Amino acid sequence: MSVVNYARTLQKVILNIGPRCYHRWVTTASVALRIRDSKQNFRCRLWCGLLTPVHYQYSTEGNTSKVPSVATWEPVLENQLPPAKQVPADLVDKLERLALVDFPNQEGLVCLKKAIRFADQLHVVDTEGVDPMDSVLENRALYLREDVVAEGDCADRLLQLSKDTVEEYFVAPPGNIPLPGREEC
């Protein structure tokens, strides 16, 4: 039996087991059969791809996996971090007003400081010459919709969701209610 046929039967057997298994079996099969011809590899995968209804995305680089064999995570030491920033009381007031969160007592503030310290670990990473990424979708094309009416006209369903309504309007308290001043605890 030729090498390619053997690979094909192997892949027929493991059809639709699951993405991880499929990938592992294909690579182990290729390694076991010592198929050096990457074009044949591709053809095998293409053929299997036509049969499998599930569409997988994986790298076509060959047999190397990006997952390291040994854990490479190192804890970040305190002295590597930049100096801890103090959070003044009026800044906490401002945050409470802007974000409508509540720091009721000293524990809340301690939690906030710990959270900031945890995020400071990002400063250890060297980002010299790297453009900031602001969306994981940056390589996707933005879908543009045609200018055709497709939604709307569901006023009754929307108004049912609100506690207070007056004649098809939503009801809200007037203006922005200022938060009470910070009481010293």
Partner 1 sequence: MAASSAGIGTLLCKNINKQIEIFYPTNRRYTWCVIRRICTSISRFRCQGQIKRKSAPKELVGVVGLEVHAQIQSITKLFSGSQVRFQAPPNSLVSFFDASLPGTLPVLNRRCVEAAVMTGLALDCVINRKSLFDRKHYFYADLPAGYQITQQRRPIAVDGTLTYSHLGGTRRNTLITKSVRIKQIQLEQDSGKSLHDDRRGQTLIDLNRAGVGLMELVMEPDMSCGEEAAAAVRELQLILQALGTCQGHMDEGQLRVDANVSVHRPGDPWGVRTEVKNINSGRNLARAIDYEIQRQVGVLKNGGTVQNETRSFDRKSGHTLPMRDKEGLQDYRFMPEPNLPPLIVYDRPSTAPPCVHPSQVVVLEEVRAGLPELPRARRTRLVESYDILPEHSFTLVNEDGLTDYFEAVVKETKAGPRKVIGWVNQVLLGLLHHHSLSVSQSPVTPQMLAQLLNLQENGQISSSVAKQVFQELWRAPGKTAQQIIQEQDLGIVSNTTEIHRICQKVVDSHPDQVQAIRGGNKKVLNKLMGLVQKETKGRADPVLVRSILEEKTS
Binding positions for partner 1, rule: CB under 8 A: 94, 97-100, 134-155, 158-159, 161, 164, 166-176, 178
Shorter beta-carbon distance to partner 1: residue 131 or 184: 131
d(CA 18, CA 4): 22
Nearer to partner 1, 67 or 150 (CB): 150
Measured distance CA(47)–CA(8) in Å, rounded: 9
Rounded CA gap, 93 and 182, in Å?
7
Q: Shortest gap between Cβ of 75 and partner 1 (angstroms)?
A: 29
Task: Write down the least CB distance from residue 165 to partner 1, Å.
Answer: 9
Q: State the nearest-atom distance from the C-beta of 102 to partner 1, in Å.
A: 14
Shortest Å distance, C-beta 27 to partner 1:
29
Nearer to partner 1, 73 or 143 (CB): 143
Q: Nearer to partner 1 by C-beta: 71 or 171?
A: 171
* 179 conformational bin, left if phi > 0, alpha if psi -120 to 50, beta if neither: beta
CB 103 → partner 1: shortest distance, Å? 17
Rounded distance, CA 141 to CA 134, Å?
15
Q: Other C-beta atoms within 10 Å of 71: how many?
A: 6
Between 77 and 161, whose beta carbon lies closer to partner 1? 161
DSSP 31-66: HHHT---HHHHHHHHHHHHHH-SS------S-S--S
